[in-house]
Amino acid sequence: MTAHSTANRGAGWEIVCGDLLDRAADANLLVWHRFPVPVKQIGGIGRGGRFEAVYADRASPDLLVVLGRGAVSRGLSILAEWKECARLPWHVGAIAPHQANAFDRMCRIGGRAVVLLRVMRGTSGPPTMLCLDWADLGPRYRAWASSESSGGVSEDDLLRLGVAFFGYTSLVDALDAGPRVVAAQTTPRPR
């Protein structure tokens, strides 16, 4: 059996989100910065400035967004991670522990953290794009990490927890919406 690369698994989703964020930035609604993937050069620089590299460390969350519609004056920054899933339930384990720690630190200093999730529908329709606030998702992640729950998030829960978006203005609205007032529900881990 051949192992398939997962290196560019979410590249298409990152392009879609990047385009939406660029359009929002062009409209002066936000400023955003993508964090580079840390690499270590392992050889000399060749023609055209190319070189071989390996991943040097765990990657940080994907981007930092500062909203413009009044949020800048409040100093509101949002740490975000792009995720994509092909089938439901979506598993919170897709968020790496160091990313969850970064989300927790951002929330402790007064910022926000979100997961921008694209749920693929296959042939049954267009994908669903959701902004999931870490204030809502974090308790589920921590319950899964401490083996208290299965970590699966059903479609109904995703739709209740997330704010759907479809264009750049609705993405800005979703980022600006803040946490949903929903009690954290976890699915007990099967014994």
Tell me, yes or no, whether 3 lies in a domain.
no
Nearest to 12 by CA among 89, 83, 60: 83
**CATH label of the domain that carries residue 128:** 3.40.1350.10
* Residue range 131-182, pLDDT digits in tens: 999 999 999 999 999 988 888 898 899 889 999 999 888 888 888 887 765 5
Q: Which domain holds residue 162?
A: 11-177
pTM: 0.78
The reply to whether 41 falls in a domain is yes
Peptide bond into 89 cis (omega under 30): yes
How far is residue 122 from each of residues 9, 86, 88, 127, 166, measured CA to CA in Å? 15, 8, 12, 8, 17
Mean pLDDT of 6-22: 78
Question: Stretch 19-38: mean pLDDT, rounded?
Answer: 86
pLDDT tens-digit map of 39-89: 777 888 888 888 787 776 666 788 888 887 554 445 578 999 999 988 889
Give ∠ CA 98-86-32 in degrees, rounded to 5: 50
Count of domains forming the chain = 1
